[in-house]
Structure 1
């Protein structure tokens, strides 16, 4: 899907609180720092489409308000 990020590589970090993902894993773009970075450089039409589809919450901290996501 266009609205998801797909992990194509994995590298262990030295921080004890590192997030575990797996190669081939997918997450909604609005729920991850990687996805937000990629969204920042999307074309305006794609961003509007993603926001129009709704921002599903996956944790209590998931941004679900389009205006807040756009600011970040």
Structure 2
């Protein structure tokens, strides 16, 4: 199983709590707590909103769940 760009953050965090640290890594870049502000948004929409490289965060999230 892997995390996909269309998944909602809440679903990712519920299924894979180990991804929380990855999301925290991007809070400073976004200027907000991503998990506090966007739990009901898709990963893709969050990355677009804050100019976060989608492939980069997907790689980090998937490594977190596979380690």
Q: TM-score scaled to structure 2, two decimals?
A: 0.28
Q: TM-score scaled to structure 1, two decimals?
A: 0.27
